[in-house]
């Protein structure tokens, strides 16, 4: 039996990126029950990719009864719907066999904690400086930018968190000229990486301009089919399960990207610990981990993922995997 439930998680604070703001996370939870065992998965439909809660639910509910992970890869395209079902099927198989997912996936060792970024949403320079001060002790901060007037925000965050490692996400909000103007200042302020500076449809321009610090593809990279179009433009890719369509493709994309000498970032949409749990497996050894979705919520799953000074820890079996 396959069941889909819509759930809403309020955020601790309004979260803003270049495309808009939100005060809650709307997710779809998939429950697959077979032979007395139950598997769970979660996805976050994303309007940027033409998804809605209704369209994703329809994709999931249209699947044939009893579908397996292999058939699922062809039955649905990469995206949120396939992600929730794929992760639920991994969890189901884990529960049926009494073995953790990392073993089922053939990973070389048990997963451990990984340091994760903490995201500061787009705001005025003054508010971003204050937010940076509140979180200055965190080892890695991610700044949401993507406007023509981001230099004061960059300066403010660095003032607020002078010792933190910083990465920047422009969410497709810059032009080539803006990026070229900002790049030297990103270096001066110790920014370690910039994520998706240009719109996905205009990122060919990256091949013709200097990239003095690593540039990461997010909206431009969904699954393995994306990799040929990234050559000469990007140095890193951001793997998100809601883009790849689940853990199965995420693991394959990571392997392919490393083989082609891309650095790997593992990121997330704003969702609960259930959505992050499979991504923790992909995040093992990644250059950048950004799985802070649960830290942005006012309420989370029970049991939640554990976050501490060592980072985000693998899920307990009671949550997933």
19: closest CA among 140, 122, 115, 139?
Answer: 122
Task: Say how far apart CA 286 and CA 121 lie, in whole Å.
Answer: 23
Angle of helix 151-160 versus helix 125-134 axis, rounded to 10: 30
Residue 286 structure tokens = 């990644």
Task: Say how far apart CA 166 and CA 171 lie, in whole Å.
Answer: 16
Q: Which of 95, 142, 240, 243 is catalytic?
A: 240
- 208 Cβ contact partners less than 8 Å away, ≥ 6 residues apart: none
Whether a cis peptide bond, with omega within 30° of 0, leads into 303 is yes
* Beta carbons of 275 and 281 less than 8 angstroms apart: no
Q: Which of 95, 142, 144, 254 is catalytic?
A: 144
DSSP letters of 279-318? HHHHTTT-SEE---GGGGBSS--SSPPPEETTEEPPPPTT
Catalytic status, residue 95: no
Using DSSP, state whether 145 is helix, strand or coil.
coil
Catalytic status, residue 240: yes
Catalytic residue list: 144, 240
């Amino acid at each position: 039996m396959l069941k889909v439930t819509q759930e809403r998680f309020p955020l601790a604070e309004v979260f803003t990126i270049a495309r808009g703001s939100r005060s809650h996370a709307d997710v779809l939870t998939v429950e697959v029950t077979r032979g007395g065992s139950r598997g769970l998965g979660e996805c976050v439909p994303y309007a940027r990719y033409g998804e809605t809660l209704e369209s994703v639910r329809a994709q999931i509910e249209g699947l044939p009864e009893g579908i397996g992970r292999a058939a699922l890869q062809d039955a649905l395209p990469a995206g949120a719907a396939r992600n929730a079902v794929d992760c639920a099927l991994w969890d189901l198989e884990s529960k049926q066999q009494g073995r953790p997912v990392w073993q089922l996936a053939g990973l070389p060792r048990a997963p451990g904690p990984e340091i994760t970024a903490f995201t500061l949403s787009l705001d005025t320079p003054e508010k971003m400086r204050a937010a940076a001060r509140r979180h200055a002790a965190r080892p890695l901060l991610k700044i949401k930018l993507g406007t023509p007037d981001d230099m004061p925000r960059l300066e403010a965050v660095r003032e607020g968190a002078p010792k933190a490692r910083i990465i920047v996400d422009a969410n497709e909000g810059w032009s080539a000229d803006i990026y070229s103007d900002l790049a030297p200042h990103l270096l001066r302020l110790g920014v370690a990486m910039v994520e998706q500076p240009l719109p996905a449809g205009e990122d060919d321009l990256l091949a013709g301009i200097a990239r003095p610090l690593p540039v990461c593809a997010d909206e431009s990279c969904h699954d393995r089919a994306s990799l040929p179009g990234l050559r000469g433009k990007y140095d890193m890719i951001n793997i998100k399960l809601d883009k790849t369509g689940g853990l199965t493709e995420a693991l394959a994309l990571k392997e392919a990207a490393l083989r082609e000498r891309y650095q790997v970032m593992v990121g997330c949409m704003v969702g609960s610990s259930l959505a992050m749990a499979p991504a923790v497996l992909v995040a093992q050894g990644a250059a950048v981990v950004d799985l802070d979705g649960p830290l942005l919520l006012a309420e989370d799953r029970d049991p939640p993922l554990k976050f501490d000074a060592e980072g985000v820890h693998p899920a307990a079996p009671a949550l997933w995997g």
